[in-house]
Amino acid sequence: MQLLLRYLPLLLLAMFWEIAARLELVSALALPSLTAVAEAWIELVKDGDLITNGAASLYRAGMGLGLSIVIGAALGIFMAWWRPLNIVLSPLVEIFYPMPKSALIPVTVIWLGFGDGSKILLIFLGCMLPVTIGAFNGARGSDRALVWSARSMGAGRLRMLWDVVVPSAMPEMLNGIRTALALSFILLVSSELIVSQKGFGYLIGFLGASGAYEGMYAVVLTVAFLGFAADRVYQMLMNRVLAWRE
Amino acid sequence: MAGVAHAEPIDAARFFSAAGLVVARSSVVVLLLVGWELFARSGAVTMFVLPPLSAVLERIWIDASGDLWLNVGLTLYRAVVGFLIAAVAGIMLGMAISRSAVARWFFDPIISVGFPMPKIAFLPIVILWLGVYDVSKISMVVFDAIFPVVTATIIGIQGVEKELIWSARNMGASKREVMWQVVLPAALPQILTGLQVALPIALIVAIVAEMAMGGYGLGGAMMTSSRFADSRGVFAALVEIAIVGYVLVKLMAVLRRRLLVWHQEASEPATV
Amino acid sequence: MSSQPQIVIEGVSHVYRPTRGKEVTALENVSLQVGQREFLALLGPSGCGKSTLLYLLGGFLPIEKGSISVDGKPVAGPGPDRGIVFQHFALFPWKTVRANIAYGLERQGMAREQREARVQSLVDLVGLSGFEDSYPSQLSGGMKQRTALARTLAFEPAILLMDEPFGALDAQTRHLMQTELLSIWQRTPKTVIFVTHDVQEAVYLADRVAVMSARPGRIKTIVDTKFDKNSRDVFKAPHFVDKVDEIWNLVRDEAIKAQGGRGM
């Protein structure tokens, strides 16, 4: 009941959409009714287009994001842990971080073509730095008292890295990963819209170009929902991992 | 950026003098550029996959007497106008949501669902509605950049101590005066953080929109080069875009420091 | 003290209703009268509602039950006749010391020249000369509280409401500020309501100390503490020590009760 009241405005928007489309307040071409979009969605699921393209997209996003998390986190923690690495890498991070990542789309195409490889590379490159910076800031902020007390209890340097530095880096690193998650969807959809032969973005562009606007709306809403759901699920996981933090 | 830009390793300062550190840091950048040039010329990769830096710079030099400034200007115009609209509208909306229960009820679920969505997916719909010209590009930028601003404004306003508001009321400030003279300045650090998140988003989206719609602008130019398999053009555009992004982000950081001279910030929050 | 009390509090109760969790009765049936230019301390353990009473008096919280009047008029919202000083200073961090002090005068539409002169005299009064253009983040705790005090004194409230104003300061600074407050008060007498949980501070500063009990907050007793505070050795004087001891005994029971929490 409370949930209903909370999300009532979204329901109202949906109703407003349906009514506006039915009354043809805007051209049916520009705004198909919500029910028509729902029918198109079911069609797309039935003939498998949504599933195959969706699977391709999720594979790309998953691979790219996974790589960026593993490599980005390791890089950030080692940068905080070993000074020379920091001196070498931090100017590079500073230069590349503000670069609008979408500019890499044509570059990755030059390197790896139109297939999965270029999308995975794009997402990996685009998502790595937020993770690195999160891990670096978190690890750098690890409590001196904790480090010292671990030392005094006889923890070696590697042991300490694992027992003290990594856990302290966790909260900020997880925040960085959340940013990376959002970025991965943006880069995935952008690159598929612009240059691709499969995936959600390709399907959106294809349906739009062939005038199947109900279908285009259906795919757009699906992607939007997936992005939202991924963030929610991630937040739940994050809260569980950080339960020790109260 | 801040996170790293200002995280100059304090302990390293003991080993290098401040000047030495600057030398070390800039020599890393020089090394990267030299490495690019040498690697591209080594024959390990074709000139198509990685044109040498010198060729790319030459291309930028040629562009500079051609469409470069028009392209940079248009991209900046779209990104910055969209960003400014998102900033003003976002702060206003955030204030309204903080102040009015009705606005909060209506917008809260929309914001919390809309923020994590990949709004770029709506690009074809925006094109369908508004065409392929500046209106649709700028609209797309606003649509994407407004969410972090609204969220940051709400969080900032919520975090204002009630004692601060009470003090102002005590000294005879009206509710309106409290909002503009106390609540907004007190929330400014948070709001600026939101703006620092929104600015790179505005650039990313402006460039994607240009790539998808074609025409003038850095994104459009990059796509044209890409279509003609002109890899020098692609890398030239990449360098141009990187410089534009770097300058904008740095300007924003300077603005933050100027506006927050009163604020004791150990280090600026990492922007995303 | 004039025969007509300046502040009349009658049968005031206040209940906090948090969005989650149980209601808390912060104040129950509190009645109190304070005379013109009297210095009254509200003393009690944390959670006894003494700050709540101050906020009600300041007009920051709505009065739900009972009545509070100042100079015969019921309190309805904040006003510059009652100036407040908070424990954590509540300075505007983006304004300099000077601009902080001037803020209330600006709101009252005081002309620029007059305002500047007034701000300068207050800066001198609280001993902040040389720091006029500093931002609060550049000041020590004691200096921040001096600024806050000057900011409130600037608009000349008839009543000064002080919410544990020295609670966030270190012991030496606290003592210095107490002495200075007393001397400022003796030079420009005002009605002061001073919330504290420090018995010695209450006895040293106040004419009367209202001892409050915890959960629900009530006024347990009022102890007269009016005697000469100006001698150097006032803290060692027998009548001072006796008063502190007397009040400490009253408060201790309440503190223990408040700690145990379960009682009540």
Interchain proximity C79–B164, CB inside 8 Å: no
Give the pLDDT mean for C120-144: 92
Task: Please tell me the total number of residues recorded for chain A in this structure.
Answer: 246
Residue where a domain terminates, one of C156, C182, C202: C156
Same domain? For C57 and C179 the reply is yes
Using alpha carbons, select from B210, B129, B49, B137 the residue that is nearest to residue A193.
Answer: B210
Same domain? For C126 and C26 the reply is no
- Enclosing domain of residue C113: 91-156
Using alpha carbons, select from C68, C244, C54 the residue that is nearest to residue C162.
Answer: C54
Residue C146 has pLDDT above 80, yes or no: yes
Supply the pLDDT for residue A43.
Answer: 93
Supply the pLDDT for residue B269.
Answer: 41
Give the B window 110-169 contacts with C, CB below 8 Å.
161, 163-164, 166-169
Report the C-alpha dihedral over residues B245, B247, B252, B255, rounded to 10 degrees: -170
- Beta strands in chain C, from DSSP E residues, in sequence order: 5-16, 24-35, 39-43, 65-70, 73-74, 82-85, 159-163, 191-196, 208-213, 218-224
Same domain? For C73 and C200 the reply is yes
Higher pLDDT, B266 or C250: C250
Supply the pLDDT for residue C238.
Answer: 87
Supply the pLDDT for residue C233.
Answer: 79
Contacts of C140 in chain B (CB under 8 A): none
CATH of the domain at A196: 1.10.3720.10
Residue-averaged pLDDT of chain C:
89
- DSSP assignment, residue B132? S
Supply the pLDDT for residue A245.
Answer: 64
Residue C125 inside a domain? The answer is yes
Interchain proximity B185–C78, CB inside 8 Å: no
Supply the pLDDT for residue C9.
Answer: 95
Higher pLDDT, A3 or B49: B49
Contacts of C93 in chain B (CB under 8 A): 186, 262-263
- The CATH code of the domain at B56-259 is 1.10.3720.10
Contacts of B257 in chain C (CB under 8 A): none
Supply the pLDDT for residue A30.
Answer: 79
Higher pLDDT, C79 or A26: C79
Contacts of C77 in chain B (CB under 8 A): 169
Interchain proximity A224–B118, CB inside 8 Å: yes
| Cis preceding-peptide flag for A32 (omega within 30 of 0) | no
Residue A182 has pLDDT above 80, yes or no: yes
Amino acid at B25: R
CATH of the domain at C164: 3.40.50.300
Query: In this structure, what token pair is assigned to residue A11?
Result: 């329901």
Range in A161-170, A172-181, B179-188, C193-202 with the lowest mean pLDDT = A161-170
Angstrom distance (rounded) from CA A178 to CA A187? 14
Residue A1 has pLDDT above 80, yes or no: no
Residue of B nearest to C148 (CA): B167
Angstrom distance (rounded) from CA B53 to CA B235? 9
Residue A162 has pLDDT above 70, yes or no: yes
Please list the ranges in chain B whose pLDDT falls under 70. Answer: 1-18, 264-272
Supply the pLDDT for residue B268.
Answer: 43
Q: Where are the domains of chain B?
A: 1-50, 56-259
8 A C-beta contact, residue C40 and residue C6: no
Supply the pLDDT for residue C263.
Answer: 41
Residue C195 has pLDDT above 90, yes or no: yes
Residue A120 inside a domain? The answer is yes
B161, B166, B263 member nearest C78 (Cβ): B166
Contacts of C55 in chain B (CB under 8 A): 166
- For residue C230, count CB atoms less than 10 angstroms from its CB and return exposed for 0-12, middle for 13-18, buried for 19 or more: exposed
In this complex, does chain C touch chain A, defined as having at least 3 beta-carbon pairs under 8 Å apart? no
Same domain? For C126 and C228 the reply is no
Supply the pLDDT for residue C3.
Answer: 58
Q: Are strands C159-163 and C191-196 parallel, antiparallel or unpaired?
A: parallel
B78's CB contacts (< 8 A; 6+ apart) are B134, B137, B138, B141, B206, B209, B210, B217
Give the pLDDT mean for A114-121: 92
Residue C71 inside a domain? The answer is yes
Angstrom distance (rounded) from CA A126 to CA A120? 10
Residue A141 inside a domain? The answer is yes
Residue where a domain terminates, one of C156, C181, C205: C156
- For residue B198, count CB atoms less than 10 angstroms from its CB and return exposed for 0-12, middle for 13-18, buried for 19 or more: buried
If pLDDT is split at 50, 70 and 90, which confidence band does A246 have? Answer: low
Residue of B nearest to C81 (CA): B170
Same domain? For C6 and C60 the reply is yes
Amino acid at B235: F
Stated pTM of the model: 0.86
- Enclosing domain of residue A71: 29-245
Residue-averaged pLDDT of chain A:
88
Chain C neighbors (3+ CB pairs < 8 Å): B
Higher pLDDT, C106 or A153: C106
Residue of A nearest to B105 (CA): A6
Total number of domains constituting chain A: 1
Asked if C94 has any chain B CB less than 8 Å from its own CB, the reply is: yes
Supply the pLDDT for residue A61.
Answer: 95
Higher pLDDT, A163 or A209: A209
Residue C260 has pLDDT above 70, yes or no: no
Total number of domains constituting chain C: 2
Give the pLDDT mean for C104-119: 92
Range in A27-41, A140-154, C244-258 with the lowest mean pLDDT = A140-154
Interchain proximity B211–A134, CB inside 8 Å: no
Q: Mutate which of C92, C96, C118, C137 to disrupt the B interface (most B C-beta within 10 Å)?
A: C92
Same domain? For C32 and C100 the reply is no
Interchain proximity B261–C82, CB inside 8 Å: no
Cα C255 vs. chain centroid, distance in angstroms? 20
